[in-house]
A and B are shown apart, each in its own frame.
Chain A
């Protein structure tokens, strides 16, 4: 039997949100143990690998060799493939990098290790320890051996397929309309443009979109998200993606060298992300942006707050739900309004017809927008297609 470990803070899951939480807890003086169930942090990659960049400084991440391509902008394609370009000038914060996710995750774990965090690989949480209704650590399996790890503060950063939160009694269930089922190929010999991340909207991907994120030298991540409530047949995500590729000669000629899938939550923010002795962070806390499907930035931003509060709770000897609310208030102040706004926007977008998408993108394609926001977009659409804006009365 391995010795019982007693860190101040136990973090389950070494993705970006977990490593961030661990790093910031250690930087604030806590002893931290970070668990990863896989044998390799960052692998296998289950991600489109596109991310914005303006938030990196806020959480103390410095650009490194994990950056694959720095893009100039994004192109939004309507169903008839009219194009609207979003560039750094009017959407600086949404433009960014295509990354090597496995390198990125490893760098964040290295940053955590450098801050003093202990890391255990091949160690899966299989249950929680309870004492008087409070979570006081986890039962883990490491190389086939079961151990109990006691800690005043436990953090669940176990990703989209999170079970830890549910074990703690924190509801994280998703409605079918609040999840996308995703599939992506890494393709070589394709005609992607390294200056842009491309997004294709409409019936090509019901309730979601097709993306092409360039990785340089004819390599690109070509993927799809389909809203689960709009899935009609077995393997729709694959069927729609294969069909899209088939209809785009610049991609149909390519070769697939990798295939990844996964679930992405596109839900409103959870009502509760803490309980006595435990906090949820990142995809496990359904913090993915419901409009873009991006989870890295929000996971890292919340992770910093989570780590700081975890260290403070451990130092004060008060991991009660009441104290941990400080994290709940912190991440909500920073992220909740945008999450909720983007969820509402997503709820609207998934109802639009291909004709409406075409009109919106057409109206935007011909003009120069000073600043990209809902008001300016709708104003532009109103000028050319006044009937379309009636659908958006609630947003004006």
Chain B
């Protein structure tokens, strides 16, 4: 089992408002915003949690 914490971006629109705040703050430039989709590159992400703080609606969780 990988011991890395897992990052979850709720990007189905239940919480996410596709504002791009997480995209702009990600220090590794690994979060991407389409019009109706947020994705991130798991292989680049270091789980620094900066995007979690930047999200105004709490759509990103790490656990």
Q: Which residues of A contact B (CB under 8 A)?
A: 37-39, 44, 46, 159-163, 166, 173-174, 176, 179, 181-183, 226, 228, 231, 233-235, 237-238, 259-263, 265
Please, which residue of chain B has its CB at the minimum distance from the CB of A167?
B29
Please, which residue of chain A has its CB at the minimum distance from the CB of B20?
A161
> Is B61 in the interface zone, CB < 8 Å from A?
yes
> Is B7 in the interface zone, CB < 8 Å from A?
no
Instruction: Establish whether residues A179 and B57, one from each chain, have CB atoms under 8 Å apart when the complex forms.
Output: no
Whole-angstrom distance from the CB of A102 to the nearest CB of chain B? 15
Residues 4-52 (chain B) with a chain A CB within 8 angstroms: 17-25, 27, 29, 32-33, 35, 50, 52
Please, which residue of chain A has its CB at the minimum distance from the CB of B52?
A234
Instruction: Establish whether residues A160 and B20, one from each chain, have CB atoms under 8 Å apart when the complex forms.
Output: yes
Whole-angstrom distance from the CB of B24 to the nearest CB of chain A? 4
Q: Identify which of B21, B22, B35 contacts A182 (C-beta below 8 A).
A: B21
Contacts of B25 in A (CB 8 A): 174, 176, 179, 228, 263
Contacts of A234 in B (CB 8 A): 52, 55, 58, 61
Contacts of B20 in A (CB 8 A): 46, 159-161, 262-263
Whole-angstrom distance from the CB of B39 to the nearest CB of chain A? 13
Q: Identify which of A38, A161, A181, A265 contacts B55 (C-beta below 8 A).
A: A181
Contacts of A261 in B (CB 8 A): 17, 19, 21, 56-57
Known pairs A181-B53, A238-B58, A261-B21. 16 more at Cβ < 8 A? A39-B35, A46-B20, A159-B20, A160-B20, A161-B20, A162-B24, A173-B27, A179-B25, A182-B56, A228-B25, A233-B58, A235-B56, A237-B57, A238-B56, A238-B57, A261-B57
Bound complex: CA A181 to CA B21 (Å)? 7
Contacts of A179 in B (CB 8 A): 24-25, 54
Q: Identify which of B21, B27, B52, B58 contacts A262 (C-beta below 8 A).
A: B21
Instruction: Establish whether residues B24 and A174, one from each chain, have CB atoms under 8 Å apart when the complex forms.
Output: yes
Instruction: Establish whether residues A235 and B21, one from each chain, have CB atoms under 8 Å apart when the complex forms.
Output: no
Contacts of B27 in A (CB 8 A): 173
Bound complex: CA A235 to CA B35 (Å)? 21
Instruction: Establish whether residues A161 and B23, one from each chain, have CB atoms under 8 Å apart when the complex forms.
Output: yes
Whole-angstrom distance from the CB of B57 to the nearest CB of chain A? 5
Bound complex: CA A166 to CA B32 (Å)? 13
Instruction: Establish whether residues A235 and B57, one from each chain, have CB atoms under 8 Å apart when the complex forms.
Output: yes
Contacts A161-B24, A234-B61, A260-B19 given; does A181 touch B29 at CB 8 Å: no
Residue pairs across A and B with Cβ atoms less than 8 A apart, 8 shown, are A159-B20, A161-B20, A161-B33, A183-B57, A234-B58, A238-B56, A262-B20, A263-B24
Bound complex: CA A85 to CA B21 (Å)? 32
When A and B form their complex, which 6 residue pairs have the shortest distance between CB atoms, in order from nearest? A235-B58, A261-B19, A263-B21, A237-B56, A234-B58, A161-B23
